Structure 1
Amino acid sequence: MHCPAVFLLLASGAEAFRICAFNAQRLTLAKVAREHVMDTLVQILARCDIMVLQEVVDSSGNAIPLLLRELNRFDGSGPYSFLSSLPLGRSTYMEKYVYVYRSHKTQVLDSYVYNDKDDLFAREPFVAQFTFPSKVLPSLVLVPLHTTPKAVEKELNALYDVFLDVSEHWQSKDVILLGDFNADCVSLTKKRLDKLALRTQAGFLWAIPDGEDTTVRASTHCTYDRIVLHGERCQSLLLASATFDFPRRFQLTEEEALNISDHYPVEVELSWSVRRTEPLSLATLLLLSMLLPLLPPSLGLVV
C-alpha cells in the first residue's frame, strides 16, 4: 500500500523580532520632558526590537538621549541604542529619522541618506542595514519615509527608485519600506494608490492592509502608516503585522492620546528562522492513516 506524503508545518525558532514605525508627531525636548508623555513613549518603544521614529523635530539634540535613558531604566530587555539622521527638509522646518534598537539583538552595519538629486522628497529616506538574528536572513535593510501630504504620489513612486538604489548598494532584495506614507484618504485615492510602482511591480507585500485605521482621532479612518516587505527570505519570516492601539492598551482618552501622537505605531513580527516542512515518521503516518477517517470534515485536514 502506498502511503501519501504528509508534512507538518513547524515554526522553528518561534521567538519573534518586532520592527515598528511611529510618527511621534513633533517630538521635541519639551514634549518628552512631560512625565505622562515620557511614560507612554517608553512603554511603546519597549515593545519593539527596532523602532523607526518620525517627526523628531528636536533642535537641542537632547530629546532622544533623554528618552533612551528612561527606556533603559524601564525595560530589562535592553540595553537600547539609537541611530539618528541629521535634520532633513527643504526649509526652516526640519525632521530627523531616528532608529531606536535593542543593541544586544541587532547592530547597525551601515547607513546613508538617499542622494535625492532631483529633490523629489521633502525628507529623503535615511536607510540603514541591521544585523538580524537569523541564519536564513543575517541582515536586513530598512527604508523609512515620512511623505509630505502635498506630494504623496510623487514621493511614493520615487520610493521605488530608493528601493532599487538600496538593493544595488547592499546587493540585497530583502528590504522593508516603512513609515507615515500618508497613503490614504484625501492625500491619495485608492485608484492612484493602486497605480504606484510599489503596487504594480512584483514582489512587494503591503503588510498593513488598506482599510486599517492608523490614526488616533475618532473622526478619521485612514491607513496613513505602512510597512512594505520585499524579498523572499524576508517575507518567509513574517509572522504577524498590526497597528498598535496604544490609547486602548494604556486606557487613555482621545485627548490624552493626542498628547502623544495622532498616529498609531505600525509593526511587523519576523521569526528568527524560516518555517520549514519536516516529513513525519512512518509510525506517525500509519497512525494518521487510521485516525483521519474518524476526524470531522470541518477540520479541513488535507493529506
Structure 2
Amino acid sequence: MFPWLHLLVFHLLWPHVWSFRICAFNAQHFGEKKAANQEVLDILVKIVQRCDICLLQEVQDPKGQALSKLLQGLNRQQELFQFVVSPPLGRNSYMEKYAFIYKSDKISVRDQYKYHDNDTKKPDVFAREPYVVRFTLRYADLQDLVVIPQHTVPDKADEEIEALYDVFLNVTSHWRCNNLVFMGDFNAGCSYLSKKKRRTLRLYSDPKFHWLIGDDIDTTVRESTTCPYDRIVVYGEELANLVNSAGIYNFTKELGLTEAEALKVSDHYPVEADLKLKYSSAHTLLPSVILIVLSVLAAGGTKTLQ
C-alpha cells in the first residue's frame, strides 16, 4: 500500500559500514606552552580529528587548560569530541597523563580504572601505570572495546611490555570483554628492545595478540632516526579480522611541513588502525520514523514523504 515504507524499513535495517579509526600519539610534552602556539595547536587539531578514538601521551597539563584548548579547536564547528583523562602518573616529580579523545556521536565511555601493579611478582614495574578505558561503540556490531595505554620508560621497555600481559589478565578478569587494544609509545625498537628480546615477551609469543605496527615502520619524525617505537597490539581473532589497515600518519608529508615545523608538534608520528565495522541507523532514526508513519496513517495515507 505504501511502497516508500518498505524502502524506508530496508534502509534502516540494512547495515552500513563504519570506517573506525583508533590512534595513539605521543604528543611530546603537551601542555599549556605547546597549546598556546596557535600554529601547533591547529596541526594537533587536524591530527586528532581524523580519529574516532585518539590516545594522547605525554600530556603534562596539571590545570587541564591545554586539553580544554585542544577540545575547543576540535569542536569549533560541531560539539562532537569529548575526552577522558587519567590522573597524573609517574615517579618523583615527573608526571604525565593519558588522555583519550573520542567522537561522542557514536562512542561513549562505559568504565575506567587505573591498573595497580603493587600485587604483582615485580611490584611497581610501571613508571606510568595503564589507565584502562572501556568504550561502548553504539549501533556497531562491535559494541565493547577496551583500550590499554602504555608509555614505557625507554630503558625499561622490555619489563613494562612484559608486564602488559599481567594487565591483560587483570582486565579480562575485571570485565567480560575480549576486544582489547594495547597501544602507545612502547619504545619497542632500536636499542631499547631487540627482536631477540621481544620474542621472549608473552605479549608477542602468544599468537592471540596481533602486532599491527611492524618493525619496518618508522614512527619517528626525525629523518636521522628509523625506529618502530610506537605500537598497536590487538587481542583476539574477532578484533584482528576487523582490521582493514594500520600504519602511521605522516603529518610532515600530509600537511606539507618541514622537519623543523613538524618537530614543534612532536618527535613521534601517530600510529593508527582502521577497522571496518557494521552499524545500523535504526536505533537513532526509528522513533522519528514511527511518528512519521503514524501521522501518515492517521491522515488516511494521503501524505507522502518529501
CA contact (8 A) 1:105 1:133 kept: yes
Measured on the aligned residues, the alpha-carbon RMSD in Å equals 1.3
Check if 1:158 corresponds to 2:159: no
Check if 1:132 corresponds to 2:137: yes
CA contact (8 A) 1:153 1:188 kept: yes
Check if 1:235 corresponds to 2:236: no
SS at match of 2:16: coil
Kindly state the Cα deviation for residue 168 of structure 1 after the two structures are TM-superposed. 1.2
Check if 1:29 corresponds to 2:36: no
State the match for 1:197 in structure 2. 202
CA contact (8 A) 2:108 2:138 kept: no
TM-score scaled by structure 1? 0.84
Check if 1:54 corresponds to 2:48: no
State the match for 2:277 in structure 1. 272
Kindly state the Cα deviation for residue 15 of structure 1 after the two structures are TM-superposed. 2.5
State the match for 1:113 in structure 2. 114
CA distance in 2, matches of 1:248, 1:83: 30
SS at match of 1:15: strand
CA distance in 1, matches of 2:111, 2:208: 24
**Amino acid across the alignment from 2:185:** D
Kindly state the Cα deviation for residue 134 of structure 1 after the two structures are TM-superposed. 5.4
Check if 1:219 corresponds to 2:224: yes
Could you give the per-residue CA deviations for residues 121-148 of structure 1, whole angstroms, max 9, x where no partner exists? 0000001000124553211000000000
CA contact (8 A) 2:219 2:229 kept: yes
Equivalent residues in 2 for 1:61-140 (5 A)? 61-74=64-77, 76=78, 79-117=80-118, 118-133=123-138, 135-140=140-145
CA distance in 1, matches of 2:138, 2:275: 10
CA contact (8 A) 1:17 1:271 kept: yes
Could you give the per-residue CA deviations for residues 269-302 of structure 1, whole angstroms, max 9, x where no partner exists? 111139xxxxxxxxxxxxxxxxxxxxxxxxxxxx
State the match for 1:43 in structure 2. 46
CA distance in 1, matches of 2:212, 2:154: 21
CA distance in 2, matches of 1:232, 1:159: 19
CA distance in 1, matches of 2:161, 2:96: 18
Kindly state the Cα deviation for residue 233 of structure 1 after the two structures are TM-superposed. 2.1
Check if 1:244 corresponds to 2:249: yes
Percent sequence identity over aligned pairs: 48
SS at match of 2:231: strand
Q: Find the partner of 2:211 among 175, 188, 206.
A: 206
- How many residue pairs match? The answer is 261
State the match for 1:259 in structure 2. 264
CA distance in 2, matches of 1:13, 1:151: 44
Question: Gaps (5+ residues) in structure 2?
Answer: 1-14, 280-306
CA contact (8 A) 2:27 2:58 kept: yes
Kindly state the Cα deviation for residue 194 of structure 1 after the two structures are TM-superposed. 1.7
CA contact (8 A) 2:106 2:139 kept: no
State the match for 1:185 in structure 2. 190
Question: Gaps (5+ residues) in structure 1?
Answer: 1-11, 275-303
CA contact (8 A) 1:174 1:232 kept: no
CA distance in 1, matches of 2:43, 2:272: 17
CA distance in 1, matches of 2:176, 2:128: 24
State the match for 1:299 in structure 2. none
CA contact (8 A) 2:24 2:272 kept: yes
SS at match of 2:221: coil
CA contact (8 A) 1:237 1:272 kept: yes
CA distance in 1, matches of 2:254, 2:265: 14
CA distance in 2, matches of 1:67, 1:189: 36
CA distance in 1, matches of 2:137, 2:274: 12
CA contact (8 A) 1:180 1:226 kept: yes
TM-score scaled by structure 2? 0.83
Kindly state the Cα deviation for residue 189 of structure 1 after the two structures are TM-superposed. 0.8
